Structure 1
């Protein structure tokens, strides 16, 4: 299969929790946020900040818990509380060579390993002035770790998620268009970019 593993954002860093908690995080205070980080109101960066706030304020779909974490501590707390344990496993996609182009990959002999537990928390990096992760917990997804080798010898340890129930998803979701399926008709599986993470129980 032909794949391209790349960072989806510029590698923004988490702020210390005390600092993050002191900064407004609401679309009603967008102008204040832009001023604080010296972001021009009509810039592409401002548009990205606005969209991230909008996404974070959208209600969760049926059967999910969600939050946008503004610090590493908040991500850990949401993930462990959602999974009901502090004994967790965290997986993300790692690539042996930076800047690897799109190419054909095959699954390595070590194969595919399913992550444990019936609950899963997936955290997606969002474009913002500092690190923000959109995290959602569900019992209708399954996590996997997949070892692959590229045509040029690049090795990838990929995190993958399969959503087994998509009945509550927006019918206009890009996955339905790409796969030519309807909500709830089939599982939707995808690899995670290597600045996203997935949490599962380790016990």
Structure 2
């Protein structure tokens, strides 16, 4: 295994250099792979473990490491949201436009049903780093000062607050009936999925054919249930490199849904429906929007483009 000193020989004084340093780390890993065969690159690791599972576009986009520093950490990226990880919140506020659908009932997943939706990326486009690199970088609330120093992030800055919240979220335990895991690399995500679902799996994500605006969408024919209540959902969190919160939740099913916008645009969407909400926070936004109570009817939501739903392959 590569040691810490292979990757941290220098100290940086600004965030741009820190972002460039991530690229240096990656290139050093690539050299190591060529010269020592220390480990497989992330994409090849996927193919070795999941040979019959295509890599979705939302993942391949994060494997295209860019030499542009801002590709790692975008200060203009949308913030971590409660909707992105639906159990994280303590207080809730309706969004600016209350007519946009956040949550809906499972019975509404039917042909010709209309919804006002907005599909957008909810996380920065930070790239994956190889697991051998990530293992050499601290990831703990107890080491926050060291982490911020490594990436030249000011302790009281907005970026520091996002990083702290992300690590804190990863350290919190899930609710009863939820198996939760923060995957700090593509390899660790693949290992978690194969442990929970095996190797015969599909990786599904919402695909938007072009940039869209908030508009009315119609559900087209072909709504399909997938997974048979065996679903692992991985949400991308905001961090300096790609990081996913993966959780397996009891009594959860997934659907693939074809949508057509009022402007003619098409969306291949993935929806997750939670059939047991009895352990959710009674003040959860979904209950406010749908005016239902915990443990009542199944509650659904569409997944963002940066989120992956893992399900067993259909026979």
TM-score > 0.5 by shorter chain: yes
Uncovered stretches (5+) of structure 1, i.e. residues with no partner: none
Distance of 2:124 and 2:218 partners within structure 1: 28
Structure number with larger C-alpha Rg: 2
Distance of 2:168 and 2:237 partners within structure 1: 11
Residue aligning to 1:102: 214
TM-score, normalised by the number of residues in structure 1? 0.94
Q: Render the CA deviation track for 1:34-88: whole Å, top value 9, x for unaligned.
A: 11112221222111111111111111111111100000011111112111x1000
After superposing the two structures, state which structure 1 stretch, 36-45 or 89-98, moved more. 36-45
TM-score, normalised by the number of residues in structure 2? 0.61
Residue aligning to 2:3: none
1:12 to 126, 133, 142: 126
Q: CA deviation at 1:178?
A: 2.0
Q: CA deviation at 1:137?
A: 0.7
Uncovered stretches (5+) of structure 2, i.e. residues with no partner: 1-114
Residue aligning to 1:30: 144
Name the structure where strand makes up a greater proportion of residues.
1
Q: CA deviation at 1:183?
A: 1.7
Residue aligning to 1:89: 202
Distance of 2:286 and 2:152 partners within structure 1: 35
Count of residue correspondences: 200
Residue aligning to 1:182: 293
Residue aligning to 2:178: 64
Q: CA deviation at 1:182?
A: 2.1
Residue aligning to 2:302: 191
| Higher RCO (C-alpha 8 Å, min separation 6) | 1
Residue aligning to 1:112: 223
2:252 to 130, 135, 141: 141
Q: Render the CA deviation track for 1:155-184: whole Å, top value 9, x for unaligned.
A: 100011001111112223222222222221
Distance of 1:173 and 1:26 partners within structure 2: 28
Q: Render the CA deviation track for 1:97-141: whole Å, top value 9, x for unaligned.
A: 02x1101111123x2111133311000111111111010012310
Q: Over aligned residue pairs, what C-alpha RMSD do you find?
A: 1.2
